[in-house]
Structure 1
Amino acid sequence: MNTETSVVRGWRALSAPAGVAVAGVSAFTLLHVRDPHNSGSYGICPMYALTGLWCPACGGLRAVNDLTNLDIGAALSSNVLIVPFIAVLVVAWVRWIARRWNGSTDRMIVLRPAMTIAVLGTLVAFTVVRNTPWGSWLAPA
Structure 2
Amino acid sequence: MGFADLERRGTDRLRSVLAPLGVAAATGAVFAVVGAIDPNEPGHYPTCPFLWATGLYCPGCGTLRTIHALAHLDPVAAMGLNPLAMVMIPFLLFWWGRWLVRGWQGRPRRTTLAHPVWLWVFLGVVLVYWVVRNLPFGVFLAP
TM-score norm. by structure 1 comes to: 0.90
Question: Where does residue 61 of structure 1 map in the other structure?
Answer: 64
| Amino acid in the other structure paired with 1:32 | G
| Amino acid in the other structure paired with 1:83 | M
Which of residues 100, 104, 107 in structure 1 aligns to 2:103?
100
Bigger radius of gyration among the two: 2
Unaligned runs of 5+ in 2: none
| Amino acid in the other structure paired with 1:25 | G
Q: How is 1:1-141 mapped onto 2 (pairs within 5 angstroms)?
A: 4-106=7-109, 110-140=113-143
- The whole-number CA distance in structure 2 between the counterparts of 1:120 and 1:20 is 23
Question: Structure 1's 107 and 58: CA in aligned 2 closer, same or farther, altered over 3 A?
Answer: farther
Query: Would you say the 8 A contact 1:59–1:79 is kept in 2?
Result: yes
CA-based RMSD of the aligned residues comes to 2.0
TM-superposed deviation, 1:41: 2.0
Query: Would you say the 8 A contact 1:36–1:42 is kept in 2?
Result: yes
Aligned length: 140
| Amino acid in the other structure paired with 2:88 | F
TM-score norm. by structure 2 comes to: 0.89
Answer 1 or 2: which has greater helix percent: 2
| Amino acid in the other structure paired with 2:116 | P
Identical residues among aligned pairs (%): 37
Query: In structure 1, the residue corresponding to 2:113 is in which secondary structure?
Result: coil
Question: Structure 1's 134 and 30: CA in aligned 2 closer, same or farther, altered over 3 A?
Answer: same
